[in-house]
Structure 1
């Protein structure tokens, strides 16, 4: 393993920045909350080991495909509203285990902050040495949720944030001679919450609703970038609108129609952000995603992202035609 050292920090100005929420691993992200996203994302890399700490101010839906052979252990540092990973309802300082090659999904209903370690499963024997159960790789091969003790959890998460803050401010502090120390200091913060917790909680909430949501999202992945109507989903999956609505309300706190609109708005945001001015128009992209009332679309877009679609594309609003068909 080549020993490389990395300390990186950046401000987030869109949900796309959270695609690198875990250093070295791609995460699919969709914005759920309204408003312009603001946040920060910091990484520390020590060889194949990394720590990522991110914070954001609006609700998010995150997914990660099963293509990563690294173990990820995460901790919830802050949450304005409910946070759920798989069927686990998370509380502050709880620890989440994402084994190698396992798909993951999470829902942040409001502004949140998290920390995530990513490293080889073979390293647990060394990194968690002294704790028989934790140093056994088999302990980490299944997804898990560890409920943090209120007192020790707060201390551990505070210490973890301080370590990151220190390394971010003083990058020179991370050197080959002390890299192993910093790595073990980071792991210790996570381990403290695992050791003091209850056994992994696999009881979950609303498993049937989440199974239905997964079927819907799998179908949306299969259909590609085209917009999908809620009636198409009901017909294809043979589920009533009432059942679908109840599942979306329980999992996301919004109905399926709103969820699909948010998903289309996120698709438009990414297209406009990646397009050069003059290569396309707001109206064309909106229409491609099923928005035909452009005035209402512009309102939805501004409410969701805190900026006009023309600003995302890089065109000054004054240069656009204002009227019934095209708007900022």
Structure 2
């Protein structure tokens, strides 16, 4: 594993394993349901940021003491029966905010699965930059419950689980730049459910679409070939996701996420085109540009370039017409 990615995955055999339900935070646990507890628990650490995903098959009572100075943002991935945190009744895909130094209690009445990310409160200004309310640390100092949009919430849950699965099995490690991208991708899965429950922010001045696009492209030029997440652009330019989306739709007819995906596909193509077989792999290059579902990546690549990524890599060793004449 690269030094920017720490992974720990284990099977649970007893409720004691859930004392570390959130990486770096102790949780007091009591089993409520009958039967032997079985489950899984996985942690991913990217610097001071961590993501934990757990599942268990019986009812549980959880309590966290007020000694943790980190912000915890959790999401209920699945539940067979009622789940309550404080006085909030949770539905699948809902997001829960546990502020630093605040006691927390939860009751799971049956088999459940959850995700929780743990981060420093000072990091929210960067991770949620461009969103006036979410980038303000004071927003996260109070406990909160955000009801997820039905369709988008399910998509965010599937994406979060897929990211965890891929990073957990990733043998290539992460560079500093790709680690930052994956951290933002994880945060985005929960942020989309938070923002869907907030009223639309139509206030403020909307910059000229083309002027804003120029600022975005200048920023992308400065970052080079590393993958850039939408939330990073919002934070750097101080614009909201809605403002950015409207500008990209007006200029390109597609959203910023699709635009950035096309740009990353072009970066993959250029790297493969200039690399000799044996010097790298398609999987390594794709992962380095933020693609974790290789099957879907291959579909995107074929649709855009009319060839498979392995074909592009193979073409790197073929001489051009001029080179062939010179060798003859």
TM-score higher than 0.5: yes
Aligned residue number for residue 22 of structure 1: 22
| 1:130 Cα deviation from its structure 2 partner | 1.6
Aligned residue number for residue 43 of structure 2: 43
* Segments ≥4 residues shifted beyond 2 Å: 171-177
The answer to whether the Cα contact below 8 Å between 1:95 and 1:148 also exists between their aligned partners in 2 is yes
**TM-score under structure 1 length normalisation:** 0.59
Q: Is residue 21 of structure 2 the alignment partner of residue 12 of structure 1?
A: no
Supply the distance in 1 between the matched residues of 2:75 and 2:173 (Cα, whole angstroms): 24
Q: Is residue 142 of structure 2 the alignment partner of residue 142 of structure 1?
A: yes
Supply the distance in 2 between the matched residues of 1:81 and 1:171 (Cα, whole angstroms): 37
3-state SS of 1:178 partner? helix
The answer to whether the Cα contact below 8 Å between 1:147 and 1:198 also exists between their aligned partners in 2 is no
The answer to whether the Cα contact below 8 Å between 1:32 and 1:58 also exists between their aligned partners in 2 is yes
Supply the distance in 1 between the matched residues of 2:48 and 2:171 (Cα, whole angstroms): 18
Q: 1:38 to 1:86 in 2, by over 3 A?
A: same
Supply the distance in 2 between the matched residues of 1:125 and 1:185 (Cα, whole angstroms): 16
Aligned residue number for residue 117 of structure 1: 117
Supply the distance in 2 between the matched residues of 1:13 and 1:74 (Cα, whole angstroms): 23
| 1:55 Cα deviation from its structure 2 partner | 0.4
Aligned residue number for residue 66 of structure 1: 66
**5+ long unaligned stretches in structure 2:** 200-328
Q: Is residue 226 of structure 2 the alignment partner of residue 194 of structure 1?
A: no
3-state SS of 2:17 partner? helix
**TM-score under structure 2 length normalisation:** 0.59
The answer to whether the Cα contact below 8 Å between 2:95 and 2:190 also exists between their aligned partners in 1 is yes
Post-superposition Cα deviations, 1:8-60, rounded to whole Å, max 9, x if no partner, equal 11000010000000000000000101111111000110111000000001100
Aligned-residue CA RMSD (Å): 1.2
Q: 1:111 to 1:171 in 2, by over 3 A?
A: farther
The answer to whether the Cα contact below 8 Å between 1:66 and 1:103 also exists between their aligned partners in 2 is yes
Q: Number of paired residues? A: 197
Post-superposition Cα deviations, 1:119-169, rounded to whole Å, max 9, x if no partner, equal 000000000112111111111010000000101100011100000000111
Post-superposition Cα deviations, 1:216-235, rounded to whole Å, max 9, x if no partner, equal xxxxxxxxxxxxxxxxxxxx
